[in-house]
Amino acid sequence: MHNTHMSNTNTPTTETKQPQTLTCQVTGKSRPSSIEYLQDKATRLSAKLNRTISVADIKANYVSRDGLKSLKDGSSTLDAKKIANLLAFNGKSGASVAVTA
């Protein structure tokens, strides 16, 4: 009989215990998030766009609901290319635009 020690893969690591913060690229407002949520979102977006999207990409392109409203109604001061990319990255109109993460 072999006594093998297997680590529990469901045990949170230090990284998952640390709070994550998302900062809106339009409004500058931040909100807390979990690493699990960010990893899931990156996985789903990677499949949708058929390319690798990282948690860092998600954080770098995060736009809040208020920020999306500002982008869509034209009240944002960002340039048109940045607006199109943020909308596409966040799954809104402009999704056919090439996304630069």
Band of pLDDT at residue 77, cut at 50, 70 and 90? confident
Average per-residue pLDDT for the chain: 79
Rg (CA), the chain: 17
Q: How many residues does the chain have?
A: 101
Q: Bridge partners of 33?
A: 20
Q: Determine if the pTM surpasses 0.85.
A: no
Greater confidence (1 vs 58) lies with 58
Helix/strand/coil for 99: coil
Q: Where are the domains of the chain?
A: 20-89
For residue 87, count other CB atoms closer than 10 A to its CB.
19
Burial 10-38, CB ≥16 within 10 A → b, else e = eeeeeeeeeebebebbbbeeeeebebeeb
